A and B are shown apart, each in its own frame.
Chain A
């Protein structure tokens, strides 16, 4: 089996040539005409490439003709095509996915385009195990290159440079005031970019008040008389100027008295007018940062240069993965490796929320790593919880009675044999096992903690009396009342992004979410903050000693039919035994508890070396402090025995 790619890109062909191929070829046509085993066509405005695996040799011309939809290529097109074989093909794809081969180095749009092309090829059945493996690896490479290098760092367009600088000067832009002077198109674009980062106070001033009003309407701002714009400088934080004045409108003499009234707030001036509206000497003034069109462009170029410097670091990461892929590819040609798995088709069933899809992608990746030839398909299933708009990322405790809302429909589909594996957040599964189904395996557990998310830095101790904290979990509500008796708690529903939006738009002090869910949505919490839709949100991890998580929190469970031995054997290979044992103990404890208690409960099993520890908290109605207990044993003691011991201890205490 050979693997190669053939294509043209912005490096080898003009746009007139590229566009001839962009809309013509499809994977199905390529497979039908060339007789290759697998094919994937990646067509973007900058490149048209075909990734092919074939058992017999295929010429570049044959593939090019297929990309042209069967028509003969122009005579001068031949030299524009490049061809990469084997590991060079892998290297090329990794470079493309990581943005190293893009016109704007480090741009991230290409990764989305590669993913889309891959999804289409999977959907049509054109991408088989080899291309699956290649592309999954490419996505990993792209992620690593982005996170481990500065390849995506810095803005590379004038508007985004201005916004980035504003963020570097002011941090949070929501309370900032912006004045647009002159109603130019670039000003409007920059104002829109600032608006997308949270700016709400936008004022527009123009010699023609009517034009000021119309631009103000476009950017949801308000018009200000042109005679008054200088006075505004005492109030505003950002000035975007683009008038057609021939002499500078703003000089140090004009600005000095206004700056005095501004106390110590910086003033960021973006002068995109030519000739310039602001005298360059203004940049010498304390607290004033003046950028004209040239300096903004120069920064965009600096950022590009910085990105270029990162190419070597990116190439090093790629080289490691190419080496791995080469080894796998060599093994893949060994007949013993090409097992019957290639014909095994597994359908994964999941909810349709963003988090559920991410979790399913994690499962798919783990399964493909373990079984390279596995043919996976994902089935999205709508659950009652989704229909009601209740989010599974929350703790669902017995008393709340929501457990199963997110799993019932998926379990029904699994039992009916419509899917082979159901992917669940383990904490959503009812503690009583559904007859005929079982948790076949679990992925390694993510962070179990709950996190406090705020709009300002600080922890639980910094809330003013009566400050509002929102959470939809009854367990968390009790834990918060216990640890912060002075706060007010309100209910919170929706998926993770919805909850974050609610935090931003409401006057709440904070919300509490599961750390695992937020991190799986690719928010990096290691710095203590993250940016969501332009707003900076601060994170405090709540100690799991006091905020004991829900049973199964942070665990992704793979549920299978009890009599489906083949699928059970497949999922078992990705099982994390420690997590599985902890989950069994936690679920057993919850099962025992449901028999005689309906209180909000937190339970956590942990394994350190060979010691197995199980802790629990049970909140009783009307009681501030929970009943708590902890037992410790060895891994050999078994999950059920430890859970029973813990229950006994808590009941006795």
Chain B
């Protein structure tokens, strides 16, 4: 039942992706409400899945890589639904849906939904740490999406080749402001997640700590560069994409390298 919900949710994101692709192919691109509602429905189904899984496990569903990816996809959709309309970045849906779809489709297809062998008692600090870190990843993912939108528009402006999608992208300065806010939001959440990790009471795996701090330092450095005006907006947008790719890789690495109990 829970997996069917997830399939339905993935289908919603796929519908949003197909809608975007068809619109692009026709050369008519309108940032309508369709993407928003498709993502919202996908989010509701994701939430239902996570809720059922969480009840079955008796804890926050972050016990294996499959659940981590679904939680990540859920966080991305959540941050989009909260941030997208606020900053009138409606076209962000067109860029968010493929990302969520890919994460979720990968999670469903890859043989990674394996119950974790080591069982530990539920720990509120550990759950807070894990969920906060995942939601931070959601914000970083959206910063990455906004970064891609920035780079697409920047490229078109530089090369003087304006396509249909250009006319529907938010202004460059607005996008950059959104990237900055998303980075700060993600960084604050990630810091909270990181700090809470020290209160879990359990042993702290070295590799996991190094990876987590590497991600924290990477994003901290981007924000520092932004704060001191050392980095041009285009570089920050590029770094957002790179940092998120690195962060997802780290998430993967942590799962394989970490030997200790996750949750």
Interface positions of A (Cβ within 8 A of B): 148-150, 153-154, 165, 167-171, 263-266, 283, 286-287, 289, 291, 295, 298-299, 302-303, 306, 309-310, 313, 457-458, 526-529, 538
Contact = CB atoms under 8 A, between A and B. Distances in A.
A529 B89 CA distance: 11
B234 A287 contact: yes
Nearest to B180: A264
B235 A289 contact: no
Interface string B171-208: 11110100000000000000000000000000000000
A148 B28 CA distance: 8
Nearest to B171: A171
A286 B154 CA distance: 10
A527 B233 CA distance: 25
B4 interface: no
Given A150-B167, A168-B169, 6 more contacts: A154-B167, A169-B172, A457-B86, A527-B31, A527-B88, A538-B88
Interface stretch (B12-20, B51-59, B137-145, B156-164): B156-164
Contacts of B157: 165, 168-169, 289
A457 B164 contact: no
Contact of B33 (A150, A264, A526): A526
A538 B174 CA distance: 13
A527 B87 CA distance: 10
A295 B28 CA distance: 23
The contact size tier of chain B is 20 to 34
B162 A154 contact: yes
A149 B174 contact: no
Contacts of B90: 527-528
6 nearest CB pairs, A to B? A171-B171, A286-B232, A263-B229, A295-B160, A528-B88, A171-B174
B184 to A, nearest CB: 15
Contact of B88 (A149, A289, A457): A457
9 contacts: A150-B28, A266-B172, A266-B173, A286-B233, A287-B232, A289-B157, A291-B160, A457-B86, A457-B88
A313 B26 contact: yes
Nearest to A165: B157
B158 A283 contact: yes
A539 to B, nearest CB: 9
Interface in B19-68: 26-29, 31-33
B162 A299 contact: yes
Contacts of A298: 160
A310 B171 contact: no
B28 A302 contact: no
A171 B172 CA distance: 7
Contacts of A457: 86-88
Interface string B81-101: 000011110100000000000
B75 interface: no
Nearest to A150: B28
Given A168-B171, A169-B172, A302 B162 contact: yes
User: Which of A148, A171, A458: most chain B Cβ within 10 A?
Assistant: A171
Contacts of A283: 158
Contacts of B176: 264
Contacts of B161: 302
B25 to A, nearest CB: 12
B171 A306 contact: no
B166 A168 contact: yes
A610 B251 CA distance: 53
A306 B160 CA distance: 14
B147 interface: no
A287 B161 CA distance: 17
Nearest to B29: A150
